[in-house]
Amino acid sequence: MAGHRRRWWAIGLGVPVALIAIVALLFRWDWLIPFVDARASAALHRDVRIGHLHVTLGRQTVVTAEDVRVADPAGFPADDAFATARRLAITVDIWGFRHDRSVLRIPVIDVDAPRVTVATDKDGKPNYDLALGGGGGGGPAVKIGALRIEDGQAHVDIPKLRARFDVAVATEDEAAAGTAHADAAGGAAAAQGGRIRAEAHGTYAGQPITARFVGGALLGLRDAHTPYPIDLHVENGPTRVALTGTVDDPLHFRGTALKLSFAGPDMSLLKPLTGVPIPRTPPFAVTGDLTYADGRITFRHAAGTLGRSDIEGDVAITPPEGGQRQKVVATLASRRVDMQDLGGFIGSTPGDTGERGQTAAQRRQVAAAEASPKLLPDRPINIPRLRAADVHLDYKAASIEGSAKLTGRGTPLDNLSVVLDLDDGAIRVHPIVAGIGTGRVVGDIALTPVSDTSTRLHANVDFDRVSIARLMQSAGFSGAGVIGGHAEIDSAGRSLAQFAANGNGGVRLATSGGELSALLVALSGLQFGNALVSALGLPEHARLRCMVADMPLRHGILDSRLLLIDTDESNIRATGTVDLRDERIDLRLETNAKHFSIGSLPTPIDIGGTLKHPSVAPAIGPLAARGGAAVALGVLLTPLAALLPTIQLGTAENHDCRALIAQTETPARAPETRRRPPAR
């Protein structure tokens, strides 16, 4: 009886053991692949396949999947994959889970030869938007210790960004990383699988791109207590960007200690990298601190150069959210500005052919602009580009230097301040203030888009006690006194040249009292005797009794309806037009001397040519007539007698300035018959 019982016990124990042994000998972990594929596909909402599955049991069990493939979403080629990996090994702490079922610890994840393709379809839909399935609320928390990547590759192809580049990704241990970031953060990175290193090559925004990134461990991104190190260097075309430092609690951006530097030939090339529309500029180099707080990125304590000018200040960027445009608030200042460097803000080509750091294309553009017969830039306003962001700019320049290209001999501006708002493509400059000596010019400008190809312009400009001395100094003469007045323009177009050509409005200026260079007054009447004496330094000035100008602008033609200058030497009157449509000047100055002058040829002076290349010369007809008479007299009379036609007795009377100003309010006189026909 006892033996029979022992036999049944042996059978009862032996059969299960034998079955377990048979299963252990015959079992293949690949049999679980359909179950694993189904669970992974449900979690990612796209097809997931693995080629082989293997499990190494133990206190720390290792689950290894080989030939892993994650498919693209619907709408992409079926043969393409979003991600693949030669091997994915996950180590699970089974023994620890037995003691604490609230946490599932994964000491390490190893990924060998991962390949990821980041792309969009023809409609712009991305393949990288993973809809992760919920895991329910009652499962254990997952804690991952380290992530190691070997021979990773990513391919990025996003036509909208004109981006097509490859990225090599791998983790490296402390020894391979060298001494860079060898601190507590580096130690944490080693514990979490080593630093991440990535290098990119290809094109971005249609320009070649090369980038290098070294950061802490990927899993360090979730560490709220250890700063995450970043070392990023990017070369996109001719633009270079460097970002180094640390980020506190990277997933929530609690704080940063980052230094941002960027340099290149033109700030407008930064738009693909920053999303901020910037006008064309000369070569630049700027460095500052990059911070993030309350959903706003701030570039603080920025300082650098822009061509021959310096620039400093703060820029705050609020990224777009909920369909809203990106918002930019900039407070900038310059101690010294070269006017050439600001040319891009009015559509001109900034810089000159001698500018250091220019690309070959920029040198060609500058050379073409300098060779062009036109002064007013005709570069169209890119309205869709302006709608990329809303901008508030507060800018101050303490000192301004001139430009032969923009202003001839130099600029009379001493300082400049601008407050600008850009809202959905509409620009409001309120105000722009230019200091000229003890006075200033104050402008209020509004540019409102009518369509993607047309903009309306309205501008008001007030001249407040503008210094005549400063104006004359920029032209090589001298003077004293102040000018006041007002100008306005209404127009439509796409560029500064079109605004001028289509403009309506006018300018009114007046002054009472002051001085002008006697050389300038003498030359205005071809008084060669006085001009010679003045050039020798005596006298230096002619007293300015009054100046008044009333010049209406109609359909791009500026008419000198009234332009009188009354000095103690002469009365000067100007007539004619300036045609802004083709930038032609057609003005005549008529001067009546008030005093005896030897060597005076009282012929009108014609100012012609173009805005960029004006010409000044005596009116040929009147001067030839007087010259012929003088020659005839020289034949018949003595040489002294031949000087009589050139001697003026000064019979012109002084104008009363009040009367001159009153004339600006009278109806316009009939246009001069000598006016050139309108441009066709």
**pTM reported for the whole predicted model:** 0.73
413 located within any domain: no
- Per-position b or e across 107-139, b if 16+ CB within 10 A of its CB: ebbbbbebbbbbbbeeeeeebeeeeeeeeeeee
- Give CA–CA dist 429/421, Å, rounded: 6
Say if residues 498 and 489 touch (Cβ distance below 8 Å). Answer: no
Dihedral of alpha carbons 520, 523, 524, 528, sign: positive
**Domain tally for the chain?**
1
Domain residues for the domain of 560 are: 503-663
Say if residues 644 and 546 touch (Cβ distance below 8 Å). Answer: no
SS3 label, residue 328: strand
- Best-predicted range by mean pLDDT (55-69, 120-134, 459-473): 55-69
Confidence label for 659 from pLDDT (cuts 50, 70 and 90): low
Confidence label for 480 from pLDDT (cuts 50, 70 and 90): low
Query: Which pLDDT score, from 0 to 100, does residue 533 have?
Result: 40
Distances in Å between the alpha carbon of 634 and those of 55, 527, 603? 122, 20, 20
532 located within any domain: yes
Q: What is the mean pLDDT of residues 451-478?
A: 80
645 located within any domain: yes
Q: What is the mean pLDDT of residues 454-483?
A: 79
Nearest to 42 by CA among 128, 137, 133, 129: 133
Q: What is the mean pLDDT of residues 270-298?
A: 86
515 located within any domain: yes
584 located within any domain: yes
- Give CA–CA dist 115/396, Å, rounded: 51
Confidence label for 452 from pLDDT (cuts 50, 70 and 90): confident
Q: What is the mean pLDDT of residues 456-464?
A: 94
Residues 6 or more apart in contact with residue 52 via CB below 8 angstroms: 30, 33, 65, 66, 67
Query: Which pLDDT score, from 0 to 100, does residue 555 have?
Result: 95
Say if residues 133 and 42 touch (Cβ distance below 8 Å). Answer: yes
Query: Which pLDDT score, from 0 to 100, does residue 542 have?
Result: 63
Q: What is the identity of the amino acid at 262?
A: F
**pLDDT above 50 (res 641):** no
**What's the full length of the chain, in residues?**
680
Nearest to 663 by CA among 492, 547, 558: 547
Confidence label for 289 from pLDDT (cuts 50, 70 and 90): very high
Dihedral of alpha carbons 532, 534, 535, 536, sign: positive
Q: What is the mean pLDDT of residues 231-239?
A: 94
Tokens 């000198």 locate to 560
- Give CA–CA dist 634/640, Å, rounded: 9
592 located within any domain: yes
623 located within any domain: yes
The tally of CA atoms less than 13 A away on the side-chain side of residue 233 is 4
- Give CA–CA dist 62/311, Å, rounded: 58
572 located within any domain: yes
Q: What is the identity of the amino acid at 59?
A: R
Phi/psi of residue 563, nearest 5 degrees: -150, 100
**pLDDT above 80 (res 32):** yes
Range with the lowest mean pLDDT among 81-85, 239-243, 350-354, 557-561? 350-354
State the DSSP string of 385-410.
HHTTEEEEEEEEES-EE--HHHHTT-
The dihedral formed by the CA atoms of 208, 212, 217 and 219, expressed in degrees to the nearest 10: -20
Say if residues 384 and 452 touch (Cβ distance below 8 Å). Answer: yes
**Kind and range of the H or E run holding 531:** helix 528-535
Tens digit of each residue's pLDDT (9 = 90 or more) over 153-212: 999 999 988 999 999 999 987 554 444 444 444 445 555 557 899 999 999 998 999 999
- Give CA–CA dist 664/670, Å, rounded: 14
Say if residues 362 and 343 touch (Cβ distance below 8 Å). Answer: no
Tens digit of each residue's pLDDT (9 = 90 or more) over 513-546: 665 554 444 445 444 444 434 443 434 556 777 7
Catalogue the E-assigned strands of 226-367: 228-236, 239-248, 255-264, 284-293, 296-306, 309-318, 326-334, 337-338
CA angle 495, 575, 539 (to 5 degrees): 105
